[in-house]
Structure 1
Amino acid sequence: MLAALTQVAAPQPTKADDIIVIGNRAEKELAACLARNCPPAEEVEKSLQASVEQFGAARYDDAQQTLQRAIGRNRRYAAQLPGPVSSLYATLATVAEHQGREDLWRSAARENVSLLRQYVGETRPETLQQELAFADTITGLQNFQLASGMYRWIQEKAAGSGQRELAAMSAFRRAWLAMLEERDDQAVRLADQAVAIAGPDDKITPQLGQILRARIAIRRGDKDAVDQLASTLRQSATTTPRMLWQPKLEDLNLSSDLGFFNTNVRLKGSDLMYADVGYWVRPDGRTSGVEILRTSGLGQWSGAITRQVSGRRYIPLDLPASSQGIYRIDRFTVRAAFDVPTGTRIAQRMGRMEVHIIDLTDTDAMSAAARERESEAAAAKAATPTT
């Protein structure tokens, strides 16, 4: 749910040149940087790159330690480097989400916002963007009522400071939450409010409103709603594909493929499973070539992931019908959250298994092997004779 919410409503940041992760190069560069006592700005950047490298390799604990150590060394430079230090907290929040460390996920997101409020300003765009990300964190922790209130606060602050895009995004997030809770009339009203706030020159928010209406129609049994909507929309092939609809991922707590999972499952701290899934988004918005590039511990349940990705529908791309489309890689992390059971003070993984998804293509956390598979797939397609 959170993946869909952030994908259709989040702003698309300007991307720097792609970072190609090879082996543990970034970790070695960080070690060399620390050995020569490099400047804080450089050290923060090296720490971020090393943590992304570790996350891409599914070494979540190492990524967490790299980020926390960097925060410990550089938090005192927040006044001079608010953006870079903020990035350390934001990245730590993402890592903690996939680890299942919900307290750390929440606290890192909160510290990120607090830092920007203090050193950048409460109503600055970069601060409100991270306020939005913090509200998304609260949504991911299933506190919809609190998240909705936070989105409303951000909407009011953004509107009051003339930031129409942020205000519209906040209003649309409120609409999305209302739709998820099946408060459909309120959802449509808030989506229309978001369109009005965005103004007549905005082309994206009306599309988001159409997507919301289509999802309501699908839930009510209109199986043709996605096809009808897809026939009216197009998006640039240079931006991140926006999802129209995706099938519900099978509940792995009940899956016959992984029958040992149940609501009382307890795992060892090292038991964390993941899969990297590569796929093409074709010009018509359907997916193709879905395959598991790398997996750890998921066994037969990997099939549930590929079925879910295969059933997705995106807004059609502004590309020739003969084009292969855009290649993406998603990381699916499967884990139970950490909690402290009765009779001990040692945190353990316990409770329901959950799936958390991040687009490795957008986070530049793609491994060298995944990059290689992408190139191989593109080359194989190019070499295939057309009929």
Structure 2
Amino acid sequence: MIPFAFVLLQAAVSSQAAAPPPVAPAQSVDGEGKTIVVVGRRVEDSARALAACIARQCPPKEEIDASLAYAEDQFLAGDYPEAQRTLAKARGRNMRYKRELPVEVGDLLRASGRMLAVNGQRDAARITAIDSLDALKSGLPSTDRRIFIQRLAVGDAFAKDGRFIAARDVYNKVANQAAAAGDVRVKGYALFRIAGLYTSIAPLVPAYRQTAFDSLRRIDETTEPDLAPFRDAAKFLRCRLQGTGVNAGRDCIAATNTDRVSKAELIYAPPIDLNNWRQENPSTVARLHGEATPQWADVAFRVAPDGTVHDIDTVRTSTDVDAGWMKLVTDALGERRYRPLERAPSDPGLRRIERYSIVYDVVSMKGTRIRARSSVPHIEILDLTVEPGMS
């Protein structure tokens, strides 16, 4: 699938932060039709399984799998710090196997980077994304698609950090390397990320408008048949430039959005602006440092056949979740638009579920080398939807 949702979810939060989840829970529906998150294992069970694996000196691949399973359960339970500690310990035990197990160690590092991000360790998350790339490079051919994809993830980390030029350079490198290797699809991913990056910025920073148009033209001028879906999707990105402000192009997107698809494909996501929430919450504005433990919520919703969103339901939250920012989340969800589905108008549509976490990054304090939590929050969005065919 074209990573259009990545681009739009970036634009949907104040920090442009979005990433795929390290884990995916199962789902069920109760008698009232509400989606419920169902964790397949208890945290205690996966903890015992990992401890037993380590005790019997199981093979590194099994130990990595057990560590990922335990961290997954900790994450789903909302224990972000412990999930990260589990992955950090697994990294310490298994980094020496990166040449023999480049994919497994790369997966471990990628999951660790994602958990670092939701724990507010953005710099460490970016470095860990690079470490994951290095692990793959240590044991795979240089033209392996998995290396290209992880290099894109490094670019994503730069983009989330506001380092747009660095992100663009990484994406360009992948586009050129993939083209040389004959991997047209990955070339499309890279070009689309560049266009998505600049079309997300341009409505807020007009100086980037021409660069955004140039990046779209670069996609339009491709001729490979495999890039036709990217040329089609570029029409939606171009709509973002039809006007000004964060909601630019919504009407254009609605008019262009005619082709029906079988899976949920996000094409418009309004921003979640936390500024009003902070101003209305005096304790947040006055706070010198943000909270170390993120508030979080799992929000389910249904994508209707016409691409609108309804049946928004907060199914699980941390004990301290603030209703103010959650309202901003659900309001923004209600304004999303997806491509129409290949379903009858009377069909209930597709259920989705996402984890929202409000995070205060660790930053260097002005005028000192001391690092502390920023007082400015941002939202990390992780898609927890179990797609058909996933186990």
TM range (shorter): 0.7 to 0.9
The count of corresponding residues between Structure 1 and Structure 2 is 356
Partner of 1:383: none
Do the aligned residues in 1 keep the contact of 2:119 with 2:292 (CA within 8 Å)? no
Residue from 118, 135, 148 that aligns with 1:115:
135
Partner of 1:372: none
Aligned equivalents of 2:154 and 2:286: distance in 1? 28
Secondary structure of 2:242's aligned partner:
helix
Do the aligned residues in 2 keep the contact of 1:290 with 1:306 (CA within 8 Å)? yes
Partner of 1:125: 145
Structure 1 position 23 matched with structure 2 position 42: yes
Residue from 312, 324, 332 that aligns with 2:356:
332
Aligned equivalents of 2:292 and 2:376: distance in 1? 15
Shift of 1:328: 1.0
TM-score (norm 1): 0.83
Residue from 59, 62, 67 that aligns with 1:42:
62
Do the aligned residues in 2 keep the contact of 1:167 with 1:194 (CA within 8 Å)? no
Alpha-carbon displacement from aligned partner over 1:10-38 (angstroms, at most 9, x marks no partner): 9x9xx999695332132222122112221
State the percentage of identical aligned residues: 27
Q: Which runs of 5+ in 1 are unaligned?
A: 367-387
In structure 2, do the counterparts of structure 1 residues 16 and 66 end up closer, same or farther at CA, with 3 Å as the change threshold? closer
Do the aligned residues in 1 keep the contact of 2:4 with 2:267 (CA within 8 Å)? no
Partner of 1:291: 313
Shift of 1:81: 0.8
Counterpart amino acid of residue 23 in structure 1: R
Aligned equivalents of 1:229 and 1:131: distance in 2? 32
Residue from 226, 237, 240 that aligns with 1:212:
237
Residue from 155, 171, 181 that aligns with 1:151:
171
Do the aligned residues in 2 keep the contact of 1:264 with 1:350 (CA within 8 Å)? no
In structure 2, do the counterparts of structure 1 residues 23 and 218 end up closer, same or farther at CA, with 3 Å as the change threshold? farther
Shift of 1:115: 1.5
In structure 2, do the counterparts of structure 1 residues 17 and 278 end up closer, same or farther at CA, with 3 Å as the change threshold? closer
In structure 2, do the counterparts of structure 1 residues 68 and 355 end up closer, same or farther at CA, with 3 Å as the change threshold? same
Partner of 1:225: 252
Partner of 1:370: none
Partner of 1:267: 290
Q: 5 Å matches for 1:113-262?
A: 113-182=133-202, 183-197=208-222, 199-217=224-242, 219=244, 224-230=251-257, 232-237=258-263, 241-252=264-275, 254-262=277-285
Do the aligned residues in 1 keep the contact of 2:185 with 2:226 (CA within 8 Å)? no
Shift of 1:346: 6.5
Q: Which runs of 5+ in 2 are unaligned?
A: 11-17, 27-37, 203-207
Alpha-carbon displacement from aligned partner over 1:156-202 (angstroms, at most 9, x marks no partner): 11111111111111111111222123233432332342354472244
In structure 2, do the counterparts of structure 1 residues 362 and 17 end up closer, same or farther at CA, with 3 Å as the change threshold? closer
TM-score (norm 2): 0.82
Shift of 1:294: 1.7
Aligned equivalents of 2:223 and 2:73: distance in 1? 37
Do the aligned residues in 2 keep the contact of 1:6 with 1:136 (CA within 8 Å)? no
Greater RCO (Cα-Cα under 8 Å, separation 6 or more): 2
Say which is worse superposed, 32-41 or 196-205, in terms of deviation. 196-205
Aligned equivalents of 1:110 and 1:179: distance in 2? 26
Do the aligned residues in 2 keep the contact of 1:175 with 1:191 (CA within 8 Å)? yes
Q: 5 Å matches for 1:55-66?
A: 55-66=75-86
Do the aligned residues in 2 keep the contact of 1:165 with 1:198 (CA within 8 Å)? no
